[in-house]
Amino acid sequence: MELHESLKKWFGYSEFRPGQREIIESLVSGQDVLAMLPTGTGKSICYQLPALLSDGLTIVVSPLLSLMLDQVQELKSKGMKQVAALNSMISKEERQSVLTHLSHYRLLYVSPEMLQSDWVLSKLKQINVRYFVVDEAHCISHWGKSFRTDYRKLAPIKRYLGHPPCLAITATATEEVRKDIKEQLQLQDESSYIYSVDRKNIALHIQETDSKETKLEQLLDYVNTVKGPGIVYFQSRKWTESAAEYLRSQGHTNVSFYHGGMVQEDRLLIQQQFMNGQLNLICCTSAFGMGLNKSDIRYVIHFHLPLDLESYLQEIGRAGRDGNQSLAILLYNKDDLGLATSMIQRDVMRSDQLVHILTALSEGGAFSPEKEVSIYTSIGVSESAFSILRYQLEQQQFVHRGNWKSFDVETVYSQMDHMLVEYRKVVERRLSNVYQWVETSQCKRERILHYFGEPAVEKPKLCCSSCGISVSDFELIQQNEDRVLGSVTDWQNQLNRVFLKEVGNGN
């Protein structure tokens, strides 16, 4: 069978993992596909293989520059040369070269923003676009609705490129998000392959603490007793730095921090060191982890309350991809809700701010990006909050690129205010779901699966704090696994250090 042979030839696997074959076959037959596969089950093969077997170009919309870089490097290392990424990391000359030789490529990774360029689109229009893929498709719904609205402008592009078969693929999407993805991409008669988000080898532990200090002590305690590698998520950049410093002062030398405020080189370095085992623990914000291809992460700790359950599941899903027992710990303190609430509220502007901005824009004319920025920053509106509004105004044809039509403030105000009220309700509901989940005495696994529209499942032995697990159970299992796997793990770690390469198969 051709697919099998190609799988072996290009990726070195003799068997498909669950879901891969079905997804590939549907896509190759020309259907649109919506796929949800758990993290670490080889999602990228689902489009890389069809792309390599096709006679045209596959466009892959990818959320991060580093992710594109990784994937291109990985494919090139496997001998696939017809692969490129088109983004701001490459020079203007390189970009030009890629665009003038598009027909030489099988796979082109792009950001949604890059697809807004007329130049890029006109070049893509001239060639045969075989498949249109949106990787990490939940971004359409999450980031697309706030600070990256270009994620919600993909359907017209797909149409412009002649409606190539479309694959939207993600690891975590509720029914509501999946519906949104379908609408946004205007998928037609699509095949859906939805697999459970349940990860049985990750035990869910939630622990309430009474203060910031005890939380920090608790964190140290876990880091001391549970064997890593591990990730600790925080809600602020400052916290990642001070916690890393604290842990280092307590004798954990191979700890570092990671957040979006760091320069790209440092971010790549830290990630690389974590991959290679030179770092054992990363204190980070939500900037860390997407596309992280490391199979032996043993625990993920949340030091602050996550803002929604999808993000939470994404983040804990980075643990245990090797199938070994892993642990997700959420340290929670009543004060955290205040921080979380304020963070989501800052994404939504107040009515007086809305009036101010609409008034400033209502005369119409050409506004430079700098001018727009100065309008909203002068009254303390975040970029994210502004982009939500701008997107709506764009949808209603009040603005195209930087050119604004004049409009009546009062009329537009009532529409936009209504829209913002609805948006606020949505984000508040998402946070309230997190809170209810944290507080419930019911099985955490069952409840989070319910949130994702999945029925109750057979519980693993180490299920969750409601079902009665303790971290000492986890330690015991770790020790037993070490006894069995000890020599293998050491040997793998040695190899990793020598080849600076992760052993294992991620996505």
Q: Using CB under 7 A, which of 76, 125, 212, 425 touches DNA? A: 212
Q: Using CB under 7 A, which of 207, 236, 440, 505 touches DNA? A: 236
What is the smallest separation between the CB atom of 66 and DNA, expressed in angstroms?
A: 6
Q: Strands (DSSP E) along 69-128, which ranges?
A: 83-86, 107-110
260 binding DNA? (CB under 7 A)? yes
Answer for the pair 172, 197: CB distance below 8 angstroms, yes or no: yes
Residue position matching structure tokens 């099985």? 443
Q: Nearer to DNA by C-beta: 211 or 442?
A: 211
125 binding DNA? (CB under 7 A)? no
Q: Give the separation between CA 364 and CA 403, rounded to whole angstroms.
A: 7
Q: Give the separation between CA 209 and CA 448, rounded to whole angstroms.
A: 22
Q: Quick one: which of 467, 356, 346, 495 has its CA closest to 416? A: 356
Q: Using CB under 7 A, which of 235, 256, 465, 492 touches DNA? A: 235
Residue position matching structure tokens 């209603």? 396
**Residue 91 structure tokens:** 């020079």
65 binding DNA? (CB under 7 A)? yes
Would strands 230-233 and 281-284 be described as parallel, antiparallel, or unpaired? Answer: parallel
Q: Nearer to DNA by C-beta: 122 or 225?
A: 122
Show contacts with DNA in window 353-372 (CB under 7 A). Answer: 369
Q: Nearer to DNA by C-beta: 378 or 411?
A: 378
Q: Nearer to DNA by C-beta: 142 or 178?
A: 142
Q: Nearer to DNA by C-beta: 59 or 307?
A: 307
379 binding DNA? (CB under 7 A)? no
208 binding DNA? (CB under 7 A)? no
Q: Quick one: which of 364, 421, 369 has its CA closest to 393? A: 364
State CA 497 to chain mean position distance: 27
Task: Map residues 383-422 to x or -, x wherever contact with DNA holds by CB under 7 A.
Answer: xx--x-----------------------------------
215 binding DNA? (CB under 7 A)? no
Answer for the pair 319, 297: CB distance below 8 angstroms, yes or no: yes
Q: Which residues contact 305 (CB under 8 A, 6 or more apart)?
A: 235, 330, 332, 336, 337, 339, 340, 434, 435, 438
Q: Using CB under 7 A, which of 9, 29, 94, 96 touches DNA? A: 96
Question: Using CB under 7 A as the criterion, which residues of the chain lie in contact with DNA when the complex forms?
Answer: 63-66, 86-89, 92, 96, 111, 113-114, 117-119, 122, 142-143, 146-148, 212, 235-239, 259-261, 285-287, 307, 335, 338-339, 342-344, 346-347, 369, 380, 382-384, 387
